[in-house]
Chain A
Amino acid sequence: MTDQPVDVEPGGENVAGEAPAEEPESVTDDAVVHDDVELERTIGLVGGLAIGIGTMIGAGIFVFPGLAAANAGLAATLSFAIGGLIALLVALPTSELATAMPRSGGGYYFISRGMGTAYGAIVGLGLWLGLMFASAFYLVGLGHYASAVFAELNVALPFSPVIGIGLLFGAALTALSIGGTENTAKIQNVVVGVLLVVLTGFLSYGVLDAVGVFGGGTVPEQFFSKGYLPVLTTAALVFTSYLGFAQVATVAGEIKQPGRNLPLAMVGSVLIVTVFYVVTIFVATSAFGADRLGEFGETAMVEVARDFLGLPGAVAILGAGLLATFSSANASILSASRAVYALSRDALLPRKASEVNLRYGTPHVALLSAGGPILVLVATGRVELLAEVASFLHLIMYGLMCIALIVLRRRNPEWYSPSYQVPGYPVVPVVGALASFGLIVFMQPASIGIGIVVMLASYLWYRYYAGDVTLKGDI
């Protein structure tokens, strides 16, 4: 068992006179140890992978294929590959940081300890809000799938139920996470397992069909049918599909054997979903051609399944889509609540925000402060905008994590001893940072604007509320 000392001493206090909570004495493979108290690590490798994959798979496969194909044509395959590559470039440095600091809070924790409170506050508050945008995006996607169920049943509604259903599920999820004491992690593992099985079967059939085994074959289409630039703007749009691996880091404090499991869970989940995404887009565009696929919008995958396997296929993919978007939204709400806890632990938010209620033992304030704004965002119903703002805020964090790694490596403080080291230093983190910031350029101006406003507001909040708090490690 490795016994890693932690030598970061936060100080100062916020406007309300609260100081950051003390850091633990040491972290072991099985627990985080404070003087007399231990916090048990209970999530294994499978649980970690399920968090990563469960968060990611909802978006890339079930919401984006139609939208991406409409924007970039067949080259949307390349857009997803670019997104996966960037995610991998960030996941590797994140793994190193996470094994050096296996504590709850993920990217926020690494950046606040590596680069100081100001950066930490921008990233931490940004992460919390970014997760809200992401959850709202998943919920709207869920709304589209649920509406497709009504369409399938030939129930004609006088209005579009997408937003209403999104709101309903958003409220239900929040209530469930406050009042539910069921074993949600086990359910998540099963859901992810079922999804992967359904998708593997479906995609295998699709690939065989696309290459002509079943006699169908497809008309070869021009790869860059929309030009080259849309490939990059689409990559920026669909990057929301890769936000999950960092969620593994937000529960880093609860992962067993973090030195081994954190890198495997993060890098593994990125690799797995990238393969699934690329194959999905390939299959989907082969079945219909990019233009027709684009016309189907958010639930294009249902039509693809219907084309291959008839009604049973459509039903299977509808069910899978509901499960996947639901699990993504759920995972994001829980991560948002963890982010609030990390911020309030460090006195960047009121201590009250991470209060646990006595009846259920759940952090109701944190969950409500995630769930409430999510409903407002769902009500806008703007899938692409929600996705891009979520990506923007995460990409800022990703870029800064890469920089934090470089800062820590150069100063090499005594407490920084990661058990996993990023390969190809310094090239990988430098390219990771450049790629993260670079991708932002290709977003819509509105998304960039909202993202910058969120960052500014976060910074101002930090100056007002917690200007005296120091979190940076002794470097």
Chain B
Amino acid sequence: MTDRPSILVPLRVLEGESVPEGVPELLAHAHVVLLGYHVIPEQTAPGQARMQFEDRATERLDDYEEMFEEAGATVERRLVFTHDGQKTIDRMIAEHDCMAVLVPNATGPVEDVLVPVRGAIGVDRLARVVASVFGEMDADVTLYHVADEDTTDDDIQTLLGGMTDRLVEFGMDPSTIETRIDRDQDPLDAIADIADSFDTVVMGETDPSLATFVFGMPADQIAERFLGPVFVVQREPAPEDE
């Protein structure tokens, strides 16, 4: 067993989604769970699509697997035909205990990493992902917090300081870690704006609420606006009730 974190890379393998430039290098120090999936309409039985497309999909996944392995990652792969892509992705996260899902967009060599920190919850997993993926790279990590009126500077310092400590604990060089704080802005807009000057974003998943139900997950919205690769760090899996 490796102590590399498992990162899920979902690709719609038959719809021309391939491994974008820079992504294998980005994940060189990770354990990649490569999910090739194909979403089919309900009129079609999944087995029917499989009979026709399995060979082509397997061929492509072979290529992708090689790309990740050449860059240095360890790779596991799955190929799934499904009516419901989200269900498949959720199942893969659970089965492989994935720490994060990568929204695969192209990037150049990674020098600056943006890590929006929302609150104390989930900081541990966030730090683990950042430290293990970027720890051995020559990248600068910026911890970013958008504070609201009620939050004192002390609170923010405790939050970001705690996060820095964890990163160092997991083996990161403190000199590569910066912090940045903005106030009185819409967090989502602020993150999306500032992200433009970074190469990649690592952020936590939010708890589902009415707002996320209506507008979608913030992480997904950032991914849509940012156009670079986004790591969505998953919440701690709920203890399984057998």
Contact = CB atoms under 8 A, between A and B. Distances in A.
A binds B: yes
Interface of A: 21, 30-32, 34, 36-40, 42-43, 104, 177-178, 180-181, 183-185, 251, 253-254, 334, 337-338, 341, 345, 351, 354-356, 360-363, 367
Contact of B49 (A43, A177, A180, A361): A361
Contact of B43 (A21, A30, A184): A184
A243 to B, nearest CB: 20
A contact patch SS:
mixed
A413 B88 CA distance: 33
B16 to A, nearest CB: 12
Contact of B45 (A34, A183, A254): A254
Contact of A42 (B47, B51, B57, B83): B83
Report which residue of B40, B53, B79, B88 has the largest number of chain A beta carbons within 10 angstroms of its beta carbon.
B40
Given A37-B50, A355-B52, A356-B52, A42 B44 contact: no
A363 B52 CA distance: 11
Interface in B12-50: 40-50
17 contacts: A39-B81, A39-B82, A40-B80, A40-B82, A40-B83, A43-B83, A177-B43, A178-B43, A180-B43, A184-B42, A253-B45, A254-B83, A337-B43, A345-B47, A354-B48, A360-B41, A363-B48
Nearest to A334: B43
A107 B73 CA distance: 47
Given A21-B47, A341-B47, A351-B51, 9 more contacts: A21-B51, A31-B80, A39-B46, A39-B81, A42-B82, A254-B45, A254-B83, A338-B45, A355-B52
Contacts of A31: 80, 91
A338 B84 CA distance: 18
A361 B40 contact: yes
A308 B59 CA distance: 65
A370 B2 CA distance: 52
Given A42-B87, A253-B45, A253-B46, A37 B80 contact: yes
A345 B51 contact: yes
B58 interface: yes
Given A354-B51, A356-B49, A363-B48, A38 B43 contact: no
B45 A362 contact: no
Nearest to B84: A42
Contacts of B51: 21, 345, 351, 354
A32 B78 CA distance: 13
Contacts of A38: 78-81
Contacts of A253: 45-47
A296 to B, nearest CB: 36
A21 B52 CA distance: 11
Residue among A42, A43, A183 with the highest chain B CB neighbour number at 10 A: A42
A327 B109 CA distance: 54
A354 B51 CA distance: 9
A185 B42 contact: yes
A337 B48 CA distance: 11
Interface residues of B, number: 27
A356 B57 CA distance: 15
Nearest to A34: B50
Residue from A21, A40, A42, A104 whose CB has the most chain B CB atoms within 10 Å: A40
Nearest to A37: B79
Contacts of A362: 41, 43-44
B54 interface: yes
B42 A341 contact: no
Contact of B81 (A37, A251, A351): A37
Most chain B CB atoms below 10 A, which of A21, A37, A355: A37
A36 B83 CA distance: 18
A40 B41 contact: no
A21 B49 CA distance: 13
A39 B83 CA distance: 9
Contacts of A30: 91
A428 B62 CA distance: 51
Nearest to A362: B43
Contacts of A254: 45-46, 83
Interface in B177-226: none
Interface string B100-116: 00000000000000000
The 10 A-B pairs with the shortest beta carbon distances in the complex, nearest first, are: A40-B82, A39-B46, A42-B83, A42-B84, A38-B80, A362-B43, A341-B48, A37-B79, A177-B43, A181-B41
A30 B50 CA distance: 17
A40 B53 CA distance: 15
Contacts of B41: 180-181, 184, 360-362
A356 B42 contact: no
A150 to B, nearest CB: 31
A72 B132 CA distance: 77
Contacts of A40: 46, 80-84, 87-88, 91
B3 to A, nearest CB: 26
Contacts of B54: 37
A341 B45 contact: yes
Contacts of B42: 183-185, 334
A187 to B, nearest CB: 10
A30 to B, nearest CB: 6
Nearest to B51: A21
A104 B44 CA distance: 11
A240 to B, nearest CB: 23
Contacts of B48: 341, 345, 354, 356, 363
Contact of B79 (A36, A177, A355, A363): A36
B78 to A, nearest CB: 7
A56 B53 CA distance: 34
Contacts of B82: 39-40, 42
A19 to B, nearest CB: 12
B47 A32 contact: yes
Contacts of A361: 40-41, 44, 49
